[in-house]
Chain A
């Protein structure tokens, strides 16, 4: 299994993937034209033909034994540059009066575009039959190695939006209490439009003044900053890298936006460069504990290897591993123990 940039020839496979993700994964709608343009954008990004602040680096996880796509993930180089990026900032206002012997703080939701210009890790999907052998970790973390390797192509901060709470019937209490009053559509439609990148309606229809959360229902308040139970593992993984919730939430479902300075992300800080050695005789693969990635943008590859570098920072690959990563002896690899 390996991570590589999506290629123009991946359209059929990507559409198969899009059909599997279903509703709720709005950035991959089952729409061939949309997917084709997404691939084209990504290809141009990796070819460095688009400006650094407009790039969508879209990766796929490939089963190189049969050419199947097992999953995908992406990095948006800077959000909010072409289309506005909105979320709510959870703030606190004090209501206090000495004469009234009153001191009370009220939580407020302020519409914000504070994250404009930050990078975003997004669009992670792994087909159920491949949810094994740490493939999910590979998809999630390969992006940190990419960002570490091409650090100067990215801004100071990175964020990730986590899916919020939905009840048994797939209803978001937060949306029902807030968004539904302002948007003439249901949650899925609003979410779908956002996935397509058609976000201008948010700024046009969303309340511009802060919302006093005390006016929301208890069920809606309970959603603020909380994730869907299926999203909890993904959130935990990001937290281990050092991403934190700083009070920003999704305007539709109230799910948290977690964020960090890229230089502080554990994987970015701890990854380092090694020289490649290829062993003539294949060594037995051990448990995948080292994540490795190549150092060229167009030929970016990432995969697990069963062993780390030696004291002189040389990592010995099997021929199969070298083939998978498309490297030869003497090349550099970025490695991360994980």
Chain B
């Protein structure tokens, strides 16, 4: 059985492993023991304090394989993408250059540094052991964060954002970085990404060119990489689009990976999540039903598992004793449930401003 729970200090070695094995390496999950240790400590503070509005908290989760007694994945929510510092993105913009004299109209694409995503809550730093790739465990790890947010809405922003790793070529080089960032930092993408992870990305952003970049002046390879996710994250992006996130005009400042944004109330998990009292029944007596994410409502002891969405005629959720034990709930207590299945992804750009 796989269960998502808050990270604990003892998870540090597992987090280090997961940081090193992330494909590609993630800026917001640096393989750096001190940084990870700090992150766990900060996360524990966030889980244990009363918080009325989002601030600089981060909530770090792990997914544990109970049979193996092993932490096999991690994911984080940053309550605000830019709390102390600004969260930098490039915003794709179109300028119209029109000349009455010549009777011509040209659309010129630019990338402008933006802090707009700073106010969103950010789902980030997800890494999962490859054994579980494309299983329900991956969906559980990714979307159990939404189950957490649904229970503690005051701790998060109305807008959620996910930044997907950008396109890298077969040599692990970022064509976008090579055409943009490299001019200003004279360093390779991987090296810079590591520095950004260990220190912070925004202090690097402050050295980025502050004026908008004209796309026609970038290399074709760099232009093609704008808003394109890393091949290893195609499915993940698809799932988030199915969840109801929309592609935004924002891309990562290093590798131009896409940033998707979603208003909480428009996401499938929030819309379909429902509270049910628990009824505990032996595993073999449970009826067949679609899989669902089931979460308890214990802030610091948050647990989320995948189980069958088996409802009694009176609306009680029937759980096996094992699931009830993992969730720490007794008969009669309420749990939050949301179907694991999602509608087909609608891959659309958000035309309005979220």
Contact = CB atoms under 8 A, between A and B. Distances in A.
Contact of B207 (A97, A210, A211, A214): A97
Q: Which 5 A-B pairs have the closest CB atoms?
A: A181-B216, A204-B99, A215-B217, A214-B183, A201-B99
Nearest to B214: A207
A309 B122 CA distance: 84
Contacts of B110: 209
Q: Which of A95, A108, A177, A200 has the most CB of B within 10 A?
A: A95
Contacts of A177: 217
Contact of A106 (B98, B99, B203, B209): B209
Interface string A208-230: 01111011100000000000000
Interface of B: 97-102, 104, 106, 108, 110, 179, 183-186, 195, 199, 203-204, 206-207, 209, 211-214, 216-218
Contact of A100 (B183, B204, B213): B204
A120 B179 CA distance: 39
Interface string A145-161: 00000000000000000
A211 B209 CA distance: 10
B211 A96 contact: no
Contact of A96 (B101, B104, B179, B207): B207
Interface in A79-131: 93, 95-97, 99-100, 102, 104, 106, 108
Contacts of B214: 181, 207, 209, 211, 215
A184 B195 CA distance: 43
Given A100-B195, A211-B217, A205 B183 contact: no
A37 interface: no
Q: Which of B98, B99, B212 has the most CB of A within 10 A?
A: B99
A108 B210 CA distance: 12
Contact of A209 (B179, B212, B216): B212
Nearest to B104: A184
A108 to B, nearest CB: 8
A213 B218 CA distance: 11
Given A99-B199, A209-B211, A212-B213, A106 B101 contact: no
Given A95-B184, A97-B204, A205-B106, A198 B101 contact: yes
Given A97-B203, A100-B195, A205 B216 contact: no
Q: Which of A96, A204, A210 has the most CB of B within 10 A?
A: A204
Nearest to B179: A215
Chain A binding surface, main DSSP class: mixed
Contacts of B104: 184, 205
Contacts of A181: 108, 214, 216-217
B106 A182 contact: yes
Contact of A104 (B184, B204, B218): B184
B204 A212 contact: no
A194 to B, nearest CB: 11
Contacts of B101: 198, 200-201, 204
Q: Which of B101, B195, B212, B213 has the most CB of A within 10 A?
A: B101
B184 A204 contact: no
13 contacts: A100-B195, A102-B186, A185-B102, A198-B101, A200-B99, A200-B100, A204-B101, A205-B97, A205-B98, A207-B214, A209-B211, A211-B214, A212-B209
